Structure 1
Amino acid sequence: MAKLPGNAGVSVLGDKSLEFYRDPVGFCRQRVEKHRSRVFQCRLLNRPTAFICSVQGMRELLSEKSSLFLKDPTDLMTNMYGDTVVTANGEEACLLRLSLTSLFAGSCLESSSDYITSVCERCLKDLSLSGQPACVYSSFKRLGTELVLGLFLNVQADEQPELYQEIVQLCTQHWHGLISAPVNVKVPLWSSGFSTALDARDKLMDIIKDKLENDTQGFVGRLGSLPLPDSNSASQHLLLFISALIPKALASLLTSFTLALSGNEQEKTRRRAMEDPDYLHRVLLEVQRLWPPFIGGRRIADQDATLAGLHVPKGYGAIYISHSVHRDPEVFQQPDSFLPERWSGRNAGQEHFLCSFGSGPRSCIGIKLTNFFLKLECLPILQPACLCQCV
């Protein structure tokens, strides 16, 4: 059993969190080269932490040894969203997952397709007819927000514009708290970002609880009828589902898709993606591989364990870095090249080697819905009239 390369440093002074969050890609690339290992250690959030940048290490962390590595109960996500399928551990997480999975598959997906299609067609038509170049990330984020609030909360922008705008503003304030220092301070005329986020969360919860009490239709009605652990669980999960997290992820992937397929040299790729659903799926896998929307995910070792043959002591953090895992040259040849064909060749059937939305038993329960979103949204984007407006 080999020791983790690198050094965890001393408490506080040896912490590398600021350096990591400034440039996660550069941080990991530099240390992979320095240690000649895609698994190494540093101090992150003042805890000795194993950084996982290999497919093998990621698969062990998230699948084969997932019971040995737990979600951090003090994580900021717990403070901001409460006990949800994302933050729970053990049997509680399994039971929540079993209850919620039905909401994101089968007939529930099919019943959403008309709404998703209508929103995509309208928003993307507005983009193509604007006559001016547009910042596509902002446009796609608005599209994602409209989809999320319409599907999960039954609040549509054209039917309830004032409530819709109020929720958008509160979701934005709530999200900013997630990426700010967790310091809850209020003084006259000023509040910290975290304090503002907690206030926004409370207001969102009031709206959500009112919806759960009075709306029996759509996703809200189905969620309210599920056997969940306590009376707060449905509202906490709705808060998670309508947060800015999902629109930002969708906007990131759609922006990467647009940039990857723009230009005259990609005309053949665009035409093939429009005509062949299987090829479009491979294009989207490659976009996700090269430009994952999230940094990764973090766990805590519940006991001494190994990852990729390296010793991870009990109490250590373990963080997988999606960008680095997806460029593991042991698995992905020409790892920095955009090659959709790899998914029908050497990497056929290896979609589980991607970790943009987690992997294994704790992977994102909404991945089928996300893929459904993306495929419906990407076809209109491939139209020449739409692509020519994107910058």
Structure 2
Amino acid sequence: MSKLPGNAGVAVLGDKSLEFYRDPVSFCRQRVDKHRGRVFQSRLLNRPTVFVCSVRGMRELLWEKSNMFLKDPTDLMTNMYGDTVVTTNGEEACLLRLSLTSLFTGSCLESSRDYITSVCERCLKDLSLSRQPKCIYSAFKSLGTELVLGLFLNVQAEEQPELFQEITHLCTLHWHGLISAPVNVKVPMWSSGFSTALEARAKLMDIIKDKLENDKQGFVGTLGSLPLPNSSSASQHLLLFISALIPKALASLLTSFTLALSGNEQEETRRRAMADPDYLQRVQLEVQRLWPPFIGGRRIAEQDSSIAGFHVPKGYGAIYISHSVHRDPEVFEQPDNFLPERWSGRNAGQEHLLCSFGSGPRSCIGSKLTEVFLKEVCMYLLKHYDWCLDPPSQDLEYKWLPVSRPANPPTISFTRLDQTRSDGNHTC
């Protein structure tokens, strides 16, 4: 085995966390160019860490050697959500996954479709009404929030507006705990972001526990009846499912979808995607490849191992970088170009090489439901609207943490297709 390229530095002084979090894409691109390879080492969170930017390395980390690289038990996700299918390891993680899988497949998945369709109709039917450009990321995040609170908690915006707004606000505060330094400080007139997040978590847990005790319908009722390891497991997982994590991921992908297909020059792509579900899937795969909502995921080496032929000592961190993996030129020709056709050509049947939502035995348990969300929203947009950037010239440079999206929220004007046809011209 070869020695890892790069330098893990020395404790504290050699840490590159700030540089990485400031711009993870540039951080990795510079080092890939410098080392002429897509696997290298540096120091992240004051731990020697191997950065995995290749498809081969990702497959080894998340599939072939997943039992050697474990979730970090000190990760912020554990502080914010407790012991869940996302944060646990070993047999406990396997048993949780086995118990929860039924909630996201088969009849449970099918029963969600009508609600998803109704939320799409309610949230998207008036996009063109004001004739003013829309901040699409905010609009899609609101839609995602309605979807998760209605499906997972039986709280719908129209029926329980006050409770819906309270939970939405608490979820936003709770989310800040994932992007704040884990310092629990509270003094008169001021609390740290992490402290505020923990307070929000406690209030959310009270609402969730009340729901689990008194609501026996839908997802809540089914989750409460599952054979989970302890009495707090159901509430911790429900907190995970209703958190801001899912709406932000949906908003990220839907924003990238509308940007990729905006304007008159993409009209043919929109029409083809509307008419052909297989082509729409290829478009969505390409959006996910180029603009994954999350930058990646982190593991800890449980024993001496290797990745892509490089020795990884026990105790090293290992982080796969979705953006870089998805642009591995050995697998994806013209990796920086938006080419949906690649998924019916050279990369046909290779959807498993994407890692936007993880991959392998620890991949996102709700990925199928996420696919349904995205397909319903995208199809609604395609069937009802044309759209374009408004104003036409905008800075679309992406920020990648905590969720990928343009740093300056883009605005888009929507025109209903029936209006476009009756007027006989386009507004874009």
Runs (5+) with no aligned partner, structure 1: none
Structure 1 residue 386, shift from structure 2 partner: 5.5
| Partner residue, 1:307 | 307
Structure 1 residue aligned with 2:187: 187
How far does residue 121 in structure 1 lie from its aligned partner after superposition? 1.1
Q: Match for residue 298 of structure 2? A: 298
1:324 counterpart letter in structure 2: S
Shift of 1:383: 4.1
Let me know the Cα RMSD of the aligned residues: 0.9
Structure 1 residues 279, 184: CA separation in 2 closer, same or farther (over 3 Å shift)?
same
Amino acid at match of 1:374: L
Q: In structure 1, how many angstroms separate the alpha carbons of the residues matched to 2:24 and 2:89?
A: 27
The aligned counterpart of 1:61 is: 61
2:252 aligns with: 252
Q: Is the 8 A contact 1:125 1:386 kept in 2?
A: no
- Is the 2:263–2:387 Cα contact (8 Å) retained in structure 1? no
Q: Is the 8 A contact 2:68 2:302 kept in 1?
A: yes
Query: SS of the counterpart of 2:84?
Result: coil
Match for 1:318: what amino acid? A
Partner amino acid, structure 2, of 1:72 = D
Q: In structure 1, what is the Cα distance between the partners aligned to 2:71 and 2:361?
A: 13
Q: Match for 2:206: what amino acid? A: D
User: What is the CA-CA distance between 1:111 and the residue it aligns to?
Assistant: 0.7
In the TM superposition, residue 131 of structure 1 has moved relative to its aligned partner by 1.6
SS at match of 1:2: coil
- Separation in 1, partners of 2:174, 2:295: 20
| Alignment partners' CA distance in 2, 1:128 and 1:325 | 37
- Once the two structures are superposed, the pairs formed by residues 81-100 of structure 1 within 5 Å of their partners are 81-100=81-100
Q: CA deviation at 1:385?
A: 3.4
Relative contact order, higher structure (CA 8 A, sep 6+): 1
Could you say what secondary structure the match of 2:116 adopts?
Answer: helix
Corresponding residue of 2:274: 274
Give the 5 Å matches for 1:1-391: 1-383=1-383, 385=385, 387-388=387-388, 391=412
The structure carrying a bigger helix percent of its residues is: 1
Following superposition, which runs of at least 4 residues in structure 1 exceed 4 angstroms of deviation?
none
With normalisation by structure 1, the TM-score equals: 0.99
Provide the rounded CA distance (Å) in 2 between the counterparts of 1:210 and 1:137: 32
Letter in 2 for 1:260: A
TM-score (norm 2): 0.90
Percent identical residues:
85
Bigger CA drift: 315-324 or 265-274? Answer: 265-274
Q: Aligned partners of 2:343 and 2:316: how far apart in 1?
A: 35
8 Å contact from structure 1 (residues 128, 387) kept in 2: no
- Contact 1:380–1:386 (CA under 8 A) maintained in structure 2: no
What residue ranges of structure 2 are gaps of 5+ in the alignment?
A: 391-410, 413-428
Amino acid at match of 1:368: K
1:187 alignment partner AA:
V
Residue 126 of structure 1: how far off its partner (Å): 1.9
On the 8 A contact 1:208/1:235 being kept in 2, the answer is yes
CA shift for structure 1 position 128: 2.5
